Structure 1
């Protein structure tokens, strides 16, 4: 006879590894489903064990100890009320009374447990805001750019802003920004350099948060399968708020250069990081574009182009012989890529121009002024 035929308590099932494998991993090597259906009383015991095992695997950070204590106290109050109404009316053997009250307690416990699991699943499903939900609410006729390659891609927006879109990421944006705001939608990771326009703020919608700026450079990391959303500021100032889809919180976090914010999706909490060098995760994820300096004093043009290539992972083709003696002094720290190139070409003069085609940039010039 199989050992499980002698199981009479929930604990017996919870200690059985093959039962755990069946419930948690859907692997039924021991024929649990068929065995369970052979007996109605057995099926009830298996169901109770299943609910308890699943509950043990539910993270408890979404329910406070006070809420748990309140629920348990409520359960025992109901039991005592039941007992007081029955007392004196009927006399049962102690054995049957014990089984009766255990049955009530178990019923109330599993009712509470079911509500808890339901609310936990409800909160998870309704606090995770997806990229598709965000773009569905937009009626501007968006263009979607997806980076399926193994290196970053440059996207230039109609206002001159640029986005360095990382692999496995996508960005939706209007062909031409209209209205009083410039809105884009990100899934994954992108480094933004925004053209200044105080009258038309720029908003990046990324899962549960909205990053609002006028003109600055910053990174947003918002992958739907990761527990956190991060914003890191390189230059300027940004404001980060919760998306209204996850609640009515009006909390607003202001970030300055070299500050960051980590939004914890599990509890909708903002964690502001005032010194990114003390955060190992942020330090390990910082890219060239966030580290390289764009302040140039009497620097050869060829070296400036090399810095841009390293930062944006682009290829720049320029007439090396004609520009070999060109040196520039300029500040490009708070400019989108296209604006950087415009400033360089204007500084070189002599009909110097550029053309961008994806990650390929061609500079045309007759030499320095």
Structure 2
């Protein structure tokens, strides 16, 4: 606690994790409130830093000067009431006077955008961000960001695969250690998880955590959208609120195939959808991989490769002349992409193998047995 007495700039506070936890989640283990109210000059700087943090979580709204002024007045009245009830000290009244006299109009506008957003779109400051979640993880994480306009296929160390949609990010350890497998998602991804009952798989996506053993499902959790969605294709998943969220309900939702869950950020509530065909939003957002089947009975291997290309939006190069008379009967449902390829190669035999580089797959084969 002693080191923060040297904080003289807003940036010092913004870089302090305990300060961010206090502002976003009301986690005051480091007694920020008491320390702030000890000194009125200190309180002014703390309040500016706090408002900056809140403003950075808000969208860019077009506010008039009157709206800014009215919101600022209402905000300060609310702060004063709360603080007077808690401490009975006049620190914030002094702070309010200095604030109105000393802060530039541009700064007020940007900060109040954050206040208006938080007051009109959320009942509390409980939302978690992707950055905050990965900061909680002490493992060395690899981050993949899809800045392209096409889905990107990612293979994890356990053989699980993720089809990461554009404008999405995934963080994961290079190698899973311990008795859990944890990854972190911002945006949208379709997951196919390798089965390992002794090592459950967790996807942390903003305010929710999805737990699976081996299954396929989609999570849609963009930071700028009001809801988070989980859609199950095969297997079973369990979804709950992230325990880091203040005021969250201790609720666990179990989802089976063709079921979904919608999490509403505004009031931290769940809606379970037992039949996704009855939900227009989910039906309209289904991707190829969710619609195509992977049960094959005496099907040309070239057609199987084409189905995989359509599902994962990858390109598969294979020796067509050597495999043109090869047919397979196999089930590739509920298998990650690398496992699908292994099964095909093993079924073909004759030294068949594959190499994968991003969205490019090469099949090496001398033909089928």
TM-score by structure 2 length?
0.69
Gaps of 5+ in 1: 1-23, 34-45, 56-115
Show the counterpart of 1:152. Answer: 151
Mapping of residues 1-369 of structure 1, within 5 Å = 25-27=62-64, 50-51=70-71, 120=119, 126-247=125-246, 249-369=249-369
How far is 1:246 from its partner? 1.3
Q: Is the CA contact 2:184–2:203 (under 8 Å) kept in the aligned structure 1?
A: yes
* Alpha-carbon separation, structure 2, partners of 1:301 and 1:332: 13
Q: Name the SS for the 2:250 alignment partner.
A: coil
Q: Is the CA contact 2:167–2:187 (under 8 Å) kept in the aligned structure 1?
A: yes
Distance 1:132 1:119, change over 3 A: closer
* Alpha-carbon separation, structure 2, partners of 1:362 and 1:265: 43
How far does the alpha carbon of each residue in 1:263-321 deviate from its partner, in whole angstroms, 9 at most, with x for none?
Answer: 00010000000010111100010001001000000000000000000000000000000
Q: Name the SS for the 1:179 alignment partner.
A: coil
* Alpha-carbon separation, structure 2, partners of 1:169 and 1:300: 35
* Alpha-carbon separation, structure 1, partners of 2:277 and 2:175: 38
* Alpha-carbon separation, structure 2, partners of 1:213 and 1:196: 9
How far does the alpha carbon of each residue in 1:94-149 deviate from its partner, in whole angstroms, 9 at most, with x for none?
Answer: xxxxxxxxxxxxxxxxxxxxxx9899479556221100000000011000000000
How far does the alpha carbon of each residue in 1:159-211 deviate from its partner, in whole angstroms, 9 at most, with x for none?
Answer: 00000000000000000000110000000000000000000000000000000
Q: Is the CA contact 2:193–2:216 (under 8 Å) kept in the aligned structure 1?
A: yes
Q: Name the SS for the 1:355 alignment partner.
A: strand
Q: Name the SS for the 2:229 alignment partner.
A: strand
The alignment of Structure 1 onto Structure 2 pairs a total of residues equal to: 270
* Alpha-carbon separation, structure 1, partners of 2:126 and 2:211: 21
* Alpha-carbon separation, structure 2, partners of 1:269 and 1:291: 28
How far does the alpha carbon of each residue in 1:209-236 deviate from its partner, in whole angstroms, 9 at most, with x for none?
Answer: 0000000000000001000000000000
* Alpha-carbon separation, structure 1, partners of 2:287 and 2:133: 27
* Alpha-carbon separation, structure 1, partners of 2:146 and 2:121: 32
Distance 1:54 1:328, change over 3 A: farther
Distance 1:304 1:53, change over 3 A: farther
* Alpha-carbon separation, structure 2, partners of 1:275 and 1:216: 18
Q: Name the SS for the 1:339 alignment partner.
A: helix
Gaps of 5+ in 2: 1-60, 76-114
Larger Rg: 1
* Alpha-carbon separation, structure 2, partners of 1:122 and 1:272: 22
* Alpha-carbon separation, structure 2, partners of 1:119 and 1:348: 58
Q: Is the CA contact 2:71–2:116 (under 8 Å) kept in the aligned structure 1?
A: no
Q: Name the SS for the 1:173 alignment partner.
A: strand
Q: Is the CA contact 2:118–2:124 (under 8 Å) kept in the aligned structure 1?
A: no
Distance 1:118 1:301, change over 3 A: closer
Q: Name the SS for the 1:244 alignment partner.
A: coil
TM-score by structure 1 length?
0.69
Structure 1 stretches of 4+ moved >6 Å = 52-55, 116-119
Q: Which is worse superposed, 118-127 or 161-170?
A: 118-127
* Alpha-carbon separation, structure 1, partners of 2:71 and 2:254: 44
Q: Is the CA contact 2:217–2:232 (under 8 Å) kept in the aligned structure 1?
A: yes
Q: Is the CA contact 2:141–2:171 (under 8 Å) kept in the aligned structure 1?
A: yes
Q: Name the SS for the 1:316 alignment partner.
A: strand
* Alpha-carbon separation, structure 1, partners of 2:333 and 2:184: 24
Distance 1:179 1:52, change over 3 A: closer
